[in-house]
Amino acid sequence: MGLNKKILDKRFWLDLIMPNRCCFCNKIISWYSFCCNECAKQIPYIDQPICKLCGKYTCMCSRGLSYDYCFCVVWYNPIMHSAVVKYKVESPDNFCMLFGDNLAKQIKKTNYASNIDIVTCTPMTKKSKRKRGYNQAYELAKVIARFLEVPVTDKILVKNRDNVSQHELTFEERLLNTKNLFGASPSVNLRGKTVLLVDDVITTGSTLNSCTKVLKARGASTVICAAVATTKLHNEKHS
């Protein structure tokens, strides 16, 4: 899946002003790379089958998840943790290109690719977005949408409040913690649509699950999730 000329040009010229850096270790790299060779070897690509429906190594489907399929690229380990933290606060471009390309390729191998009507992302509260300057999940969603040639928007889902940290919560507590946390913009009608919902990391799946319920309540017939990383055990920590 090639980058189009406009993006290649942008990356080339940007590199002259602000050298391109590895999305893991920050080392200066060539303008067309996303990470350095050493870090590329460390990427914990998923090497064991995960459940295609919930995206977990230990299937959680029996807990009543409402999304229909889930694509993931890597295990969420300490290397990925620091890369995710970095992409949330610094330029997310290389992280999004590296993993967005992989996710789009996986999706293209399935029948879903031709059925996706719209790509969207898990939302942030207005306050958090103002503080950070961008929604990192939307940056990833834009890259995937461009590769799939499908429209993308961050105007479907809204996050009503900042939830208390989920780290120490059990699955059941997380479900309560995310109750009414997400909603949809008033005019959203997704009747019969297939939506691709993008996020960075899946732990218990409770965020994707809550967002999917909102999308389906607005008429979406199918919700497919795409996330960069998935924790191998559902009680692993994630920030």
Footprint of Zn ion (CB under 5 A):
22, 24-25, 27, 36, 39, 51, 53-54, 59, 61
State which residue, 95 or 182, has the beta carbon closest to Zn ion. Answer: 95
State which residue, 43 or 124, has the beta carbon closest to Zn ion. Answer: 43
Query: Closest approach of Cβ 141 to Zn ion, in Å?
Result: 23
Q: Are 193 and 223 in contact (CB under 8 A)?
A: no
State which residue, 7 or 53, has the beta carbon closest to Zn ion. Answer: 53
Query: Closest approach of Cβ 25 to Zn ion, in Å?
Result: 3
Pick from 32, 30, 29, 23: nearest CA to 3:
32
Query: Closest approach of Cβ 23 to Zn ion, in Å?
Result: 8
Q: Are 177 and 238 in contact (CB under 8 A)?
A: no
State which residue, 63 or 129, has the beta carbon closest to Zn ion. Answer: 63
CA 167 to chain centroid, in Å, comes to 19
Query: Closest approach of Cβ 124 to Zn ion, in Å?
Result: 27
Query: Closest approach of Cβ 18 to Zn ion, in Å?
Result: 17
Contacts of 86 (CB under 8 A, 6+ apart): 23, 24, 26, 95
- Can you give 103-161 as a three-state secondary structure string? HHHHHHCCHHHHCCCEEEECCCCHHHHHHHCCCHHHHHHHHHHHHHCCCECCCCEEECC
State which residue, 75 or 138, has the beta carbon closest to Zn ion. Answer: 75
